[in-house]
Amino acid sequence: MNTSATVRTILSLVLSLAIAVMVLISWSNMVYARTDNGVLSASSFQSLRYFTVLSNLLMAVAAIIYLVYGLTHFGKPFPTWLVTLKWAGTVSVLMTFLTVVLFLGPMFGFQTMFKGANLYFHLIVPLLALFEFILIDPLPKPEFRLSFLAALPLVIYGLFYLGAILLYGIEGHDFYGFCTWGLPVGIVIFLGLILITWGSALLVRLLKIPGKL
């Protein structure tokens, strides 16, 4: 491993640690309601109903696994499954950011969407994760044939979200407001988000600067 690759790998591991720490501390603040986290937040483990929280926790898990593997296999290639996991985590938090900027921010107000723990969940972690994955980490480009896996977290979440609405009704379960104009519109919105997620995954792959160990 040359000096440039070594520096890049070390910086990537440091940023991954920072991402994991920010997510875990932010989630702890939300769980125990230590601060006002704005709208679309909940204390205790009810916070896990939000894709924002789940996507950030997925990113934290990917960052921790990446950190541990990178430290224990320093200078060696990363396995495909780890590249794909980190890709999926990055794309998931990117979708959280895009959803807030394009849909939820205008609906609920950006000031409350970027408040407390949500400042990290909606803005800081997604942008830092995207920056680290595209420009810093030494991972190769993810495999195109696995691009559907990057959208899989949102697909799974959408099935549970819409399933709960079908079983229990819109009131109290459509907390993102996707079904404000009816369930069919909500389904269309989710299908659109899935396509955007897959497209974002391909764009992230295209922009990624592959590492050379």
Containing structural domain, residue 199: 3-207
Structurally, how many domains does the chain consist of? Answer: 1
pLDDT by 10s per residue, the chain, length 213: 678 788 899 999 999 999 999 999 999 999 998 788 888 888 888 999 999 999 999 999 999 999 999 999 998 999 999 999 999 999 999 999 999 999 889 988 899 899 999 999 999 999 999 999 999 999 999 999 999 999 999 999 999 999 999 998 888 889 888 998 999 999 999 999 999 999 999 999 999 999 766
Confidence at residue 147, expressed as pLDDT on a 0 to 100 scale: 95
In a domain? residue 79: yes
Q: How many CA atoms lie within 13 A of 7 on its CB side?
A: 4
In a domain? residue 201: yes
Which tokens sit at 101?
A: 């900027």
Element spanning 167, H or E: helix 147-168
In a domain? residue 212: no
- Tell me if 40 sits within 8 A of 176, measured CB to CB: yes
pTM of the model: 0.95
DSSP 22: H
In a domain? residue 62: yes
In a domain? residue 130: yes
Compute the residue count for the chain.
213
In a domain? residue 213: no
In a domain? residue 125: yes
- Bin 109: left if φ > 0, else alpha if -120 < ψ < 50, else beta: left
